[in-house]
Structure 1
Amino acid sequence: MKLKVLICSVISVFFFSNCQEKHKEDSIKANYLDFSKRDDQLTGGIKMIPIKTPKGTFKVWTKTVGNNPKIKVLLLHGGPGLTHELYECFDGYFPNESIEYIYYDQLGSYYSDQPNDNSLWTNERFVEEVEQVRKSLGCDNTNFYILGQSWGGILAMEYALKYQKNLKGLIISNMMASAPAYNKYAEEVLGPKLPKAVFDQIKTFEKNKDYTNPKYTELLFKYYYTEHILRMPVDQWPESINRAFKHINSNVYVYMQGPSEFGITGNASLKNWDVTAKLKTISVPTLVIGAKYDTMDPKHMEWMSKEVQNGRFLLCPNGSHLSQYDDPTTYFPGVIKFLKDVDNGEFKKA
């Protein structure tokens, strides 16, 4: 009799806890698009957040989509100097999962203030900017996730290395942990895969610093971009991507990344950036996303997922640098599963 009562009690507790969890999920879904209790209802989620810098206070543009007190994902765009528009395809995936996400143009990018001062374009200052954005949005380690792609991945790693205590989860998308390793991969692996005559022409343009030559651009788009940036014919590239490239701040991009598409070169400030030795200090749950045809070495990114303390690797077999667009059937399920696993306390490292 006692055993029967005990079994009934265990079943009741299990059933009750499951019902509570289901009620919470239903409540989040029901209130996902309710802006009535928010201070950004009139602007549809848009906030211009003031950012203090050594050169004064400026404003950065953010837009929050949805309400979820448990999962809030800040999207760090690439470039540097590109825009949140690189992530607009997330609208087709995250809302259906009731995931709150925040579009964000970093200082210097199109929708934010664009001060003309190169001393502002440092990793350390961008990290402090992200921290100020977090505080302004009211996120903390019970709900705050960062997803950074390309340069945004560099910024995500740098933020985690200083402020991981404020994170619930970290997603590093399509970015290696070392600029020199990225340069080597571009020069020794990707470049030689191009037709020799094409690669020779590209290197000649770069040697002569003739980066604005229309022929240089034409060769890159025809032979490199459609293989390793976004694997679609250029005339089929999504409008959001074309808009992002149209809005690029070339000054920020060239100062930090350099003018070449084969690695970070010249006097670019990121040329010697390398945090491979520091990855082991990152303990927050981490998803590293690589792609077979990426400009970044997927094997290096798989290594990164094992170097951090609690990492998982996602390979997009049909993807390139913008794998959210050319391999969404792998990218989004993998990202969503990571977010849900961490949120539910079910995350297991690879």
Structure 2
Amino acid sequence: MVPIQTPVGTFKVWTKRFGNNPTIKVLLLHGGPAAGHEYMECFESFFPEQGIEFYEYDQLGSSYADQPTDSSLWTTERFVEEVEQVRKALNLDKSNFYLLGHSWGGILALEYALKYQDNLKGLIISNMMASAPDYGKYADSVLAKQMDPKVLDTIHQLEKRGATSDPKYMELLTTHYYNQHICRLAEWPEPVNRAFKHLNGVIYTMMQGPSEFGISGRLANWDRKADLPKIKVPTLTIGGQFDTMDPEHMKWISTQVQKGSYLYCPKGSHMSMWDDQQTYMNGLIKFIRDVDGGK
């Protein structure tokens, strides 16, 4: 448990370390916001055998971390300072520190790098675009058009009425959107289901909105496209063919940062680490090894 100083007091977040490698230490930033580390347990099946040291981590408000209720805590800026405090507590530095952020964690990783990249050895932005408005447009103009118009209409009606807590809302989204674009495995893995079960809905809705179908919370106007050229550390972006995020945009990010590369998962969706696992893990491990080897 790592103590985190915030403007409204000190709280604790949860971390778990695997392995021991003086030059490769990967900190995993989960999505949500507030989805918890659990769906990232799949890294346990790949990193240890490669000798990669890594840390699972529940951000404040998630799973095993403290869950304060002060809404002033749920800002990107505050989360960046939290990551910096975790980095110091775990003794991570530019000789070994790889930051891997997935989904909302990708926003957080990018924001961290823009402020603190001198502490980083490598950056991985997994399944996240550099612009929330562009993500919203992609959901509306591309993914929504792949849905049954009647289903889409019902979803929009429920959203307009503020009835997103109606079980029908998530039922429709799960069948017609999540199963196509969040995780395409016929049966969702237990760690994924567990993460969804433990998701802190208050924080998630405040920052993201009611669902993964577009974005409408505090993050709705987040856009860092213009700042990408400032990122000078080796950076890997990862995108999936069936992702909630535009794979072409994620490829484009890799051309905007100074030392970028792109990993494309042809069978993958938003959780490519599960539904295109071999492509994802092999490409990610190669990137980490290349950076470690000075390539």
Q: Which TM-score band applies after superposition, normalised by the shorter structure? A: over 0.9
1:169 pairs with 2:118:
no
- 1:56-115 alpha-carbon deviations (Å, 9 max, x no partner): 111100000000001000000000011110110111111110000000000111100111
State the TM-score, normalized to the length of structure 2.
Answer: 0.99
By how many angstroms is 1:261 displaced? 2.8
Greater Cα radius of gyration, structure 1 or 2: 1
Equivalent residue for 2:202? 251
CA distance in 1, matches of 2:94, 2:61: 27
CA distance in 2, matches of 1:128, 1:191: 36
- Contact 1:206–1:260 at 8 Å: present in 2 too? no
List alignment gaps of at least 5 residues for structure 2. none
Equivalent residue for 2:279? 330
RMSD: 0.7
1:138 pairs with 2:91:
yes
1:238 to 159, 182, 189: 189
Equivalent residue for 1:275? 224
| 1:1-350 map, 5 Å | 48-233=1-186, 236-265=187-216, 268-346=217-295
| Residue type of the alignment partner of 1:59 | K
CA distance in 2, matches of 1:213, 1:277: 39
| Residue type of the alignment partner of 1:126 | F
CA distance in 2, matches of 1:198, 1:331: 32
CA distance in 2, matches of 1:260, 1:139: 34
| Residue type of the alignment partner of 1:106 | Q
List alignment gaps of at least 5 residues for structure 1. 1-47
Identity of aligned residues (%): 63
- Contact 1:73–1:146 at 8 Å: present in 2 too? yes
SS at 2:98's partner residue? strand
| Residue type of the alignment partner of 2:194 | R
- Contact 1:75–1:101 at 8 Å: present in 2 too? yes
| Residue type of the alignment partner of 1:332 | M
| Residue type of the alignment partner of 1:138 | N
SS at 1:115's partner residue? coil
CA distance in 2, matches of 1:76, 1:334: 18
State the TM-score, normalized to the length of structure 1.
Answer: 0.83
CA distance in 1, matches of 2:211, 2:93: 38
- 1:224-247 alpha-carbon deviations (Å, 9 max, x no partner): 1110000023xx111111111111
Question: Could you tell which deviates more after superposition, 190-199 or 147-156?
Answer: 190-199
CA distance in 2, matches of 1:189, 1:201: 18
By how many angstroms is 1:262 displaced? 2.0
- Using CA pairs under 8 Å that are at least 6 residues apart, name the structure with larger relative contact order, 1 or 2: 2
The runs of 4+ residues in structure 1 deviating greater than 6 Å are none
